[in-house]
Chain A
């Protein structure tokens, strides 16, 4: 069982405990008002994604505590840290002191845990007028960058957050994703699953926190299905990039061996930056096992078959969905019901959110490409695929 030490620091009343409570303890935003100030350091062991344990050190932010953090308990606090999450209160009345503390923390981290990843959250952004948020966040980011450069810290990530909107989920999704050891493997297989289902997007959420841990998106079509005299021809690209025509495409199925043998095309963008360009990766088209009678005909058929370009989606859709569905899940709990899944359908798409492995939920988005009679991807096929994929993904997301 992997244990990761996560340090949560920042000035008093900046919102550290509130954040932690919402993400890991199922608090609603309004419930955090009754939280009392944290005294010294509170330790929380949070199980995440099965066998990953986050050893959360929620450090009180009063000045007196900082003295002990930097002096007496310096090594105890700052040693063997995997992640540092430093929280700034955007409405702080003494920002200079905040940055002094921040610099002190960075120095201690450089001494004791130089390899730790650093995340800075500029919190309570809801208190800033919406039209000024971008400007203020950029300004604060610049100051943080200066502080980091002064101490010699090269890499950090900065987010504007608020417990009253989806920005909290975006930041924490990015934070916890850094802790998942086999995230690349997971993303690759999720990408294959997306192709098999002919889905526009597939998103994996952690079960308890509903944080996004992985995401796959259909590639914009290099390949399109072409109708010709009532018979469909599917063009695909083989590894050399030459077009080949095949007919008589059959139901393609994959078994566990088929997944292991898959070579993927460039993996899709990560959940945090869904609009970023996907990184290149080696390999050709995904190859799935086929039914015996058409194996030769279908060899090398890629998962890029018949994908029309997807429309531009809201860049914050995942964290919004995390926020909404988690609230709904908590509401179900209060009504003595257990949330199992959700299907949402309109004229443009159908979204399936379903329990997936023991520690995850999956969301599959399928757009309704062709409104003709009976066309498009059907609910039953998608649900069947989700059911069949569970056992396979359990290999990468072990049970606790």
Chain B
């Protein structure tokens, strides 16, 4: 089970150096925990107020939906890969359908794959990270297992590589922890 009060402490590891909040959401967009606060008011000297009227739960739901769409696109593109042979295509299809149907349970795509190639194919279908540059800041998303995402909200000045790296590390850390639930 998850100790809710400990989630912000884990997510806090990624906060700093331009990253002002980190969220942990599930694939349905439900917020499990968060750390930090809403983005500060614009730093370009203008007097406009903060543009974040939404709660962390709403932000997480919106971004989770976007990330899920990218993930699905990635899975579809992988299937279109002409170099992918039929065996690997089928195992990738099986792994994708397991990820959709076994909600709340680690898909453990590694166990379902029969060979190392299949394992690589299955992993390749997973969203690793996503960085979205917006007018007033940057949003980063990384996979924390088949059913969870970590999301970071950062200033426009933050380096994309740094953001992506932090999120992937945090996502891997959270994924290992959450895999113990199953």
Please give the residue numbers on chain A whose beta carbons come within 8 Å of chain B beta carbons, in ascending order.
193, 196-198, 225, 231-232, 234, 248-255, 288-289, 291-293, 305-306, 372-375, 377-385, 387-389
8 pairs, A vs B, C-beta closer than 8 Å: A198-B3, A253-B180, A253-B181, A291-B173, A291-B177, A374-B55, A380-B28, A381-B33
Map CB proximity to A onto B103-125 as digits: 1 under 8 Å, 0 otherwise: 01000000000000000000000
Closest approach, in angstroms, between the C-beta of A301 and any C-beta of chain B? 9
Contact A375 B30 (CB under 8 A): no
B9 within 8 Å of A (CB atoms): yes
Pick from B5, B104, B178: contact of A306, CB under 8 Å = B5
Please indicate the chain A residues that have their CB under 8 angstroms from the CB of B57 in the complex: 374, 378
B104 neighbours in A (Cβ, 8 Å): 384, 387
Chain B residues within 8 Å of A225, by CB: 5
Least Cβ distance of A199 to chain B in Å?
Answer: 9
Evaluate contact between B3 and A253: CB separation under 8 angstroms: yes
A193 to B57, alpha carbons, bound, how many Å? 24
Q: Which residues of A contact B5 (CB under 8 A)?
A: 198, 225, 305-306, 377
Which partner residue on chain A sits nearest B13 by CB separation? Answer: A248
Residue B2 interfacial (CB < 8 Å): yes
Shortest beta-carbon distance from A388 to chain B in Å: 5
Add 19 more A-B contacts to A373-B38, A374-B36, A378-B34 (CB < 8 A). Answer: A193-B1, A232-B9, A250-B6, A253-B2, A254-B1, A289-B180, A291-B177, A292-B176, A293-B173, A374-B23, A374-B35, A374-B37, A374-B57, A375-B8, A379-B31, A381-B7, A381-B33, A384-B1, A385-B1
Residues of chain B within 8 A (CB-CB) of A232 are 8-9, 12
Confirm or deny: B56 has a beta carbon within 8 angstroms of a beta carbon on chain A.
yes
Answer whether A389 and B9 are a contact pair too, CB < 8 Å, given A291-B180, A374-B21, A378-B32.
no
Taking the closest CB of chain A, its distance from the CB of B145, in whole angstroms, is 12
Interface presence of B138 (CB below 8 A): no
Shortest B146–chain A CB gap in Å is 14
Residues of B close to A250: CB separation below 8 A = 6, 9-10, 177
Contact with A along B18-54 (1 / 0, CB 8 A): 0001010110101111111110000000000000000
Q: How far is the CB of A346 from chain B (nearest CB, A)?
A: 15
Min CB–CB distance A110 → chain B (angstroms): 48
Name the A residues within 8 Å of B25 (CB-CB): 380
Residues on A with C-beta less than 8 A from B32 are 378, 380-381, 384
State the Cβ distance, B65 to closest chain A Cβ, in Å: 15
Q: Provide the bound-state CA to CA distance between A372 and B174, in Å.
A: 23
Task: Report the Cα distance A197→B34, complex, angstroms.
Answer: 16
Assess whether B162 is interfacial by the CB under 8 Å rule: no
